[in-house]
């Protein structure tokens, strides 16, 4: 099992979600986050006072996947989340030891279905 965390542009989120649904991914956890990597923020000017806003809004997707689906999901996210500009975000993969469904205590990949 792998946990996939993807930080993406808010404007791409609907496309990514749609594409994931199409390849059969039904569960995900989504958070609105702020941050920046190489993309620097922007400046705002209020009555002559300039502010640099360097933390930009992003969307964080979290999915835990059976090993066989990981490549397909990564490909889908890469395809749909890309705008080609700085600030498109990143995908992180981590190994997951165990998953437990709270309702019936199923364990392992069965809990992900």
Partner 1 sequence: MRRLAGKCCFLICLMLGTTILPSASLMAQQGGPSVATPSATSSAAPSATSSEPGKALDEKLAQLDQRVTAAQSSADNAWMLVSAALVLMMTGPGLALFYGGLVRRKNTLAIMMQSFALMGVITVLWALVGYSLCFGGNGPLIGGFEHAFLRGVGAEPNADYAGTIPQTTFMVYQLMFAIITPALITGATAERLKFSGTVLFLTLWFLVVYAPLAHMVWGKGGFLNASLGGKFPTLDFAGGTVVHISSGVSALVCALYLKKRTGYPQKPMPPHSLTLSFIGACLLWVGWFGFNAGSALASNGLASSAFVATHFAAATAALSWSAAEWIKNGKASALGAISGAVAGLVAITPAAGFVGPMPALVIGLVAGLFCYWMVTKVKAVFGYDDSLDAFGVHGAGGTIGALLTGVFAQAVINPIFGAGKAVGGLDGHWGQVGNQLVGIAVAWAFALVGTFILLKIVDAITGLRVTEDDEVTGLDIALHGEEAYNLEP
Question: Does residue number 24 form part of the binding site for partner 1 (CB under 8 A)?
Answer: no
Nearest approach, Cβ of residue 55 and partner 1 (Å): 12
CB of 42 or CB of 90, closer to partner 1: 42
Q: Counting contacts by CB under 8 A, is residue 47 touching partner 1?
A: yes
**Binding of partner 1 by 85 (CB under 8 A):** no
91 class by beta-carbon count within 10 Å (0-12 exposed, 13-18 middle, 19+ buried): middle
Judged by beta carbon, residue 33 or residue 100, the one nearer partner 1 is: 33
Cα separations (Å) of 34 from 5, 10, 17, 54, 63?
15, 11, 19, 9, 19
Q: Report the C-alpha gap between 50 and 29 in whole angstroms.
A: 36
As measured in angstroms, the least distance from the Cβ of 69 to partner 1 is 33
Q: Are 111 and 100 in contact (CB under 8 A)?
A: yes
Q: Which residues bind partner 1 (CB under 8 A)?
A: 44-49, 51
């Amino acid at each position: 099992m792998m946990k996939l965390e993807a930080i993406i542009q808010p404007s791409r989120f609907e496309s990514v979600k749609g594409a994931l649904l199409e390849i059969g991914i039904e569960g995900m956890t989504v958070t609105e986050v702020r941050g920046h990597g190489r993309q620097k923020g922007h400046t705002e000017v209020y009555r002559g006072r300039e502010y640099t806003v360097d933390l930009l809004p992003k969307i964080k997707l979290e999915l835990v996947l059976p090993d066989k689906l990981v490549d397909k999901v990564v490909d889908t996210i890469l395809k749909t989340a890309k705008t080609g500009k700085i600030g498109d975000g990143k995908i992180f993969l981590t190994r997951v030891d165990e998953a437990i469904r709270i309702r019936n205590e199923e364990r392992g990949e069965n809990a992900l279905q």
